[in-house]
């Protein structure tokens, strides 16, 4: 069974390895370490037997939270891990005074879109050519 907890510097290597697998423009280990050193970022990990199986993060500006990444190891997808990570991240945000959350998602990423809708996010607009590798539009989704 996995547990959800705040990300620590010790998790940065495993998180960056997952990031390399699942994102076209991945953050480095150092980028995660730099984010963790700032109070405006919040990251959560799902850990099972000392192994990170998923993570998500948020950057806060005033009372808004921008969800920066959500990733779950491929063999653990569709098992509720991402939804639980998102719930915990939103719970942390509420404690920090966040009242609205936003994120961008590839228009072709049906699985992620379903996840975000399940978590209460709604599509509000499209950002043309937001992604570059490959080039693709993004839905901008909000949870208010």
Cα torsion through 36, 37, 39, 41, rounded to 10: -30
Question: 3-101, what's its fold?
Answer: Aminopeptidase (3.40.630)
Active site residue 51: no
**Tokens linked to 34:** 């730099």
Residue ranges of the domains in the chain?
A: 3-101
Estimate the crossing angle of helix 12-22 against helix 29-36, to 10 degrees.
Answer: 130
Which one from 48, 64, 104, 136 is the annotated catalytic residue?
A: 104
Rounded distance, CA 10 to CA 15, Å?
10
**Tokens linked to 88:** 């915990």
Distance of CA 137 to the CA centre of its chain: 18
**What distances in angstroms separate CA 96 from CA 62, 67, 69, one per listed residue?**
10, 14, 19
Active site residue 116: yes
Which one from 116, 117, 136, 139 is the annotated catalytic residue?
A: 116
Rounded distance, CA 5 to CA 133, Å?
31
**For every one of its 144 residues, what pLDDT tens digit does the chain have, with 9 covering 90 and above?**
999 999 999 999 999 999 999 998 899 999 999 999 999 999 999 999 999 999 999 999 999 999 999 999 999 999 999 999 999 999 999 999 999 999 999 999 999 999 999 999 999 999 999 998 889 999 999 999
């Amino acid at each position: 069974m996995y547990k959800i907890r705040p990300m620590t510097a010790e998790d940065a290597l495993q998180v960056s390895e997952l990031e390399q697998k699942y994102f076209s423009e991945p953050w480095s280990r150092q980028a995660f370490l730099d984010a963790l050193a700032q109070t405006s970022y919040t990251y959560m990990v799902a850990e099972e037997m000392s192994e990170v199986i998923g993570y998500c993060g948020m950057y806060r500006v005033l009372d808004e939270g921008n969800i920066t990444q959500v990733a779950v190891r491929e063999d653990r997808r569709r098992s509720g891990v991402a939804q639980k990570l998102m719930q915990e991240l939103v719970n942390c945000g509420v404690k920090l005074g966040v009242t609205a959350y936003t994120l961008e998602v590839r228009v072709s990423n049906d699985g992620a879109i379903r996840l975000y809708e399940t978590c209460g996010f709604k599509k509000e607009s499209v950002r043309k050519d937001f992604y570059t590798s490959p080039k693709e539009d993004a839905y901008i989704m909000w949870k208010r």
